[in-house]
């Protein structure tokens, strides 16, 4: 699917997020007071020392530099985004073609990931557990294939899905600390399976707060249909996660990429 469409060719250099780093790699963007990182900003150091040269003893040197003049470089580099899809595969997703709409949203994000060379992973939760159906990979073609074949049915172990998502991110950051992780949760939020002894929704709230504590960027795409009775659980989960929240009906395929870029990418 990806290879046949000429419009899907990779564009640019990918790796679009920026992060500050403590090594000597990356672009020098500014300076700060010295903190023993051995990456001296000579230009900034000289500027700091310059106003005091007339009053300082030179002692045989052209420029007198004191310890408090020394500045170090602050660097940043482009890093790859790591998008973890946490997808509700429970029976409720079959209602009102929710899974079809969810697939459309995911495919739109996958197309963008393909062009930007981001890594993706996919977790599907249904029945009694959550499964990593796609380990971290840059092969979004495989992710697309899995999405097309995604079966639905059973209960909604949402807390387990969020737990698995966080676990995948922690493992990925252990291997590569410079990734920029993003969780994309697609669900109606109606959890009905617990990981332990607590009520399902209470466990979900705890996981949502933990994701916020870990400062992981996230999006919640709510697939709940607006009917006479709505629960609004996905919105509540998004608030606890400090996530960007969207209703699936508001995310048309041609607009979802712009929404995600504006919301998350730095």
pLDDT at site 2: 37
Angle, in degrees to the nearest 10, between helices 98-116 and 140-148? 170
Is there a single domain that holds both residue 181 and residue 68? no
More confident residue, 227 or 91: 91
At which residue do the structure tokens 């009053």 appear?
55
pLDDT at site 21: 55
| Cα–Cα dist 177/81, whole Å | 12
* Best CA proximity match to 18, nearest among 29, 31, 3: 29
Contact between residue 122 and residue 85 where contact means Cβ atoms under 8 Å apart: yes
Domain count, the chain: 2
Answer whether residue 190 shows pLDDT above 50.
yes
pLDDT at site 4: 39
Is there a single domain that holds both residue 34 and residue 129? no
**Left if phi > 0, otherwise alpha if psi is -120 to 50, otherwise beta: which for 247?**
beta
Distance of CA 96 to the CA centre of its chain: 29
DSSP 153: -
pLDDT at site 1: 40
In this structure, the strands spanning 81-88 and 180-187 are parallel
Answer whether residue 230 shows pLDDT above 50.
yes
Last residue within a domain, chosen from 37, 62, 77: 77
Is there a single domain that holds both residue 73 and residue 89? no
**Left if phi > 0, otherwise alpha if psi is -120 to 50, otherwise beta: which for 4?**
alpha
Answer whether residue 256 shows pLDDT above 70.
no
Is there a single domain that holds both residue 132 and residue 100? yes
pLDDT at site 213: 95
Is there a single domain that holds both residue 73 and residue 174? no
At which residue do the structure tokens 């499964």 appear?
131
- Mean pLDDT comparison of 27-41, 156-170, 182-196, highest-scoring range: 156-170
pLDDT at site 249: 73
Q: Does residue 211 form part of some domain?
A: yes
Burial of 7 (0-12, 13-18, 19+ CB in 10 A): exposed
pLDDT at site 204: 94
Is there a single domain that holds both residue 72 and residue 85? no
Return the ∠ at Cα 38 (arms to 33 and 40), rounded to 5°. Answer: 55
Is there a single domain that holds both residue 91 and residue 220? yes
Is there a single domain that holds both residue 219 and residue 260? yes
Counting residues of the chain whose pLDDT is more than 90, the rounded percentage is 25
Is there a single domain that holds both residue 178 and residue 109? yes
Last residue within a domain, chosen from 77, 101, 116: 77
More confident residue, 105 or 72: 72
| Average of per-residue pLDDT across 179-186 | 90
| Cα–Cα dist 4/30, whole Å | 44
* Among the ranges given (1-10, 43-52, 141-150), the one the predictor scored with the smallest mean pLDDT: 1-10
pLDDT at site 39: 82
Taking only the tens place, the pLDDT of each residue in 116-162 is 778 888 898 998 899 998 888 877 777 777 777 777 788 889 999 99
- For residue 95, the enclosing domain spans 81-265
* Among the ranges given (23-37, 164-178, 200-214, 223-237), the one the predictor scored with the smallest mean pLDDT: 23-37
Answer whether residue 25 shows pLDDT above 90.
no
Answer whether residue 259 shows pLDDT above 60.
yes
Alpha-carbon distances of 48 from 19, 55, 56, rounded to whole Å: 26, 14, 13
């Amino acid at each position: 699917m990806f290879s046949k469409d000429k419009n899907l060719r990779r564009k640019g250099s990918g790796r679009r997020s920026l992060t500050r780093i403590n090594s000597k790699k990356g672009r020098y963007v500014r300076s700060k007071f010295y903190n023993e990182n051995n990456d001296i900003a000579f230009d900034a150091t000289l500027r700091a020392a310059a106003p005091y040269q007339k009053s300082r003893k030179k002692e045989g040197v052209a420029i007198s530099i004191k310890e408090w003049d020394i500045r170090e470089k602050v660097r940043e580099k482009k890093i790859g985004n790591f998008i973890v899809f946490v997808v509700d595969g429970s029976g409720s997703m079959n209602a009102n073609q929710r899974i079809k709409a969810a697939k459309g949203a995911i495919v739109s994000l996958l197309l963008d990931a393909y062009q930007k060379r981001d890594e993706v992973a996919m977790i599907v939760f249904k029945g009694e557990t959550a499964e990593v159906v796609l380990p971290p990979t840059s092969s979004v073609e495989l992710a697309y294939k899995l999405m097309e074949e995604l079966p639905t049915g059973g209960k909604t172990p949402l807390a387990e899905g969020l737990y698995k998502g966080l676990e995948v991110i922690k493992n990925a950051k252990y291997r590569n600390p410079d990734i920029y992780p993003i969780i994309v949760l697609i669900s109606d939020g109606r959890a009905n399976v617990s990981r332990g002894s607590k009520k399902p929704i209470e466990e979900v709230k705890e996981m949502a707060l933990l994701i916020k504590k870990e400062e992981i960027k996230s999006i919640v795409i709510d697939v709940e249909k607006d009917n006479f009775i709505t629960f609004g659980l996905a919105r509540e989960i998004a608030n606890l996660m400090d996530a960007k929240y969207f209703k699936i009906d508001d995310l048309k395929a041609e607009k979802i990429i712009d929404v995600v870029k504006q919301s998350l990418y730095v």
